[in-house]
Amino acid sequence: MKKSPLIALCLAASALTGGVAHAEVIAINQPALPLTEARISTLPDDQQAVWRAYLLRSRLQMEIDRQSLPAELAPGQTPPPPPVAAGGGSKTMPLDQPARWYRSAEARAIADTIVSFQTPAGGWSKNQDRTGPPRLPGQRYANDAETMAQDPANFDAPTDRFWTFVGSLDNDATTTEMRFLQHVAAALPRADGDVYRASFVRGVEYLLAAQYPNGGWPQNWPLEGGFHDGITFNDNAVAKAASLLGEVAQQDQYDFVPQRLRQQAGIAVQKGIDLILAAQVRRDGALLGWPQQVDPLTLEPISARNYEPRSIASGETTDILEFLMSRPDPTPEIRAAIEGGIAWLKSAAVRGYAWERVGNEGRKLFPREGAGPLWSRNYDIVTGQPIFGDKDRTIHDDVNNISEGRRNGYSWWVTQPQRALDAYEDWRK
């Protein structure tokens, strides 16, 4: 696939000038809006009640989660320190072991730690090492925030530095814990597995409770505000929640889940698919790709962290296309979404350039005959051209011109869309 004329021109200018002379700051990233009562009041009258009920449920659950910790302590008892700083995450919960391994003491110890860190809401926090010891009474469900600085200019600064991502779909949280528990429960079909089955069922209830009225899922639930309230395609959060609920609704291995929840799970999956279709970016009537996240009320693309601008995102588009292509008996609407997304990925591919380390300068984009295809991580919603963010909120048209730390600390040019293109060739047959 040939480069578009504008992409080719930008890349050529960057290569010839070292990425400086013709590069521009083209915009300043704007923060995403949280879900609030004031915003809900702008909806049509017949839609407001269900959203207000959702917001109230979230606030009540947040209070229940918070109060659960002091309730575990004796009067005057000092709470234990929080878990060790983030690390491990899904890698500490392997899902690809032989069935017999999940009966082992090692697997059961991981499962016991997982159960101990489940929040009253039924979810789990991200990036936690599940090979560590179980949670102690009064110990927090998550470690301190990744950024402890109280900086209003930082979109990622939490409202509470000591309570964040407590219940999350970010970085494969919650769905990975649930899948690991299911493996252990399947290996322990009798009473020994009941505690893990019960924990899994609470996870199903969590996913159902966290789903927005329109079918999307926020990054964190209970809601924490900011971009975390956005419907999150990043880390494949929406599709992974929908996929797991789809299995719960249809597969016999989940027959321990109450039938009413399995029925609700099936409904939730269809709502999730409808949301995915509604959130696909359109330009001049053409279906394109998907953003990293969208506003829960308007479904408009929104920003995330300071350096993550609203955009069409090639990685998230890849994940969503793979999910849609996995659906049995796709509807005409699903087929149209797939065809549009694939056509957009093909049009956005760049060949003849490499994204690699250059001496002591870190990673840069530079010409290399026969290299590619590559895709930019983010594309401007209006122009369709690659865009790149920096920590100071500036948005650039040239990756080589952003700060070295941010240039090396993020995957600005990626190859995974080729997975979707390869899968499409099999799907269309």
Q: What is the mean pLDDT of residues 397-406?
A: 95
pLDDT in tens, 343-396: 999 999 999 999 999 988 899 999 999 999 999 999 999 999 999 999 999 999
pTM value surpassing 0.75: yes
Taken in order of first residue, the domains within the chain and their CATH numbers are 1-29+306-429 (1.50.10.20), 53-285 (1.50.10.20)
Q: Which residues are catalytic?
A: 171, 305
Q: Any idea which of 5-9, 306-310, 403-407 has the lowest mean pLDDT?
A: 5-9
Residue 23: per-residue pLDDT: 61
pLDDT at 47 > cutoff 50: yes
pLDDT, residue 85, reads 67
Mean pLDDT of the residues in the chain: 93
295 CB-side CA count, 13 A: 15
DSSP secondary-structure letter at 362? -
19 has a pLDDT exceeding 90:
no
User: Confidence band (pLDDT; 50, 70, 90) for 159?
Assistant: confident
pLDDT confidence of 153, banded at 50, 70, 90? confident
Could you read off the pLDDT of 181-218 as tens digits, one per residue? Answer: 999 999 999 999 999 999 999 999 999 999 999 999 99
Please identify which residue in the block is written with the tokens 């929406």.
238
